[in-house]
Amino acid sequence: MTWTRAIVVGSLIWIAAILLLGQAPSVIIYKFDQYVAEIIDLSKRIPGVGSMCHALGSGLPADQGCNPSQIAIFRDIVANTIQLTLLFAALAGAYFWQVRKRKRVGGKGVQDVVKGYMSGK
């Protein structure tokens, strides 16, 4: 890979990382906050969710669904799960790309490149 191609590919990866790791969770949190009433209504209709929210201390009867603070906790769990999944996918992609490149080029893995420069070795 040439230096020019490496800079262009690195810039594209950097832009994608900012959009996916920074902007995607922000959009999820923003959208969740817009539809809190609808999510509470949805939690009333899903069997077992209302009683689960009641058991977790919503202070509301079991048929009232989840309260807004529980919706915020769920929102944060969803946003962080998506962010971490994208991060792990990027890290795994980089790892497997390097393994494939090392096999293609014929490298032997990690080598001691400092060996000839240190006294006593």
Predicted structure pTM score: 0.67
Residue with tokens 């014929």: 106
Q: What pLDDT was estimated at residue 108?
A: 67
Q: What percent of the chain is predicted at pLDDT more than 70?
A: 74
pLDDT confidence of residue 95: 92
Asked whether 74 and 66 are in contact (CB, 8 A), the reply is yes
* Mean local confidence (pLDDT), 23-44: 87
Region 2-26: what's the mean pLDDT?
91
Helix (H) or strand (E) holding 95: helix 68-105
Structure tokens at 111: 């080598």
Structure tokens at 9: 């590919």
Chain centroid offset of residue 76 CA: 12
Angstrom distance (rounded) from CA 81 to CA 24: 11
Residue position matching structure tokens 């490496």 = 6
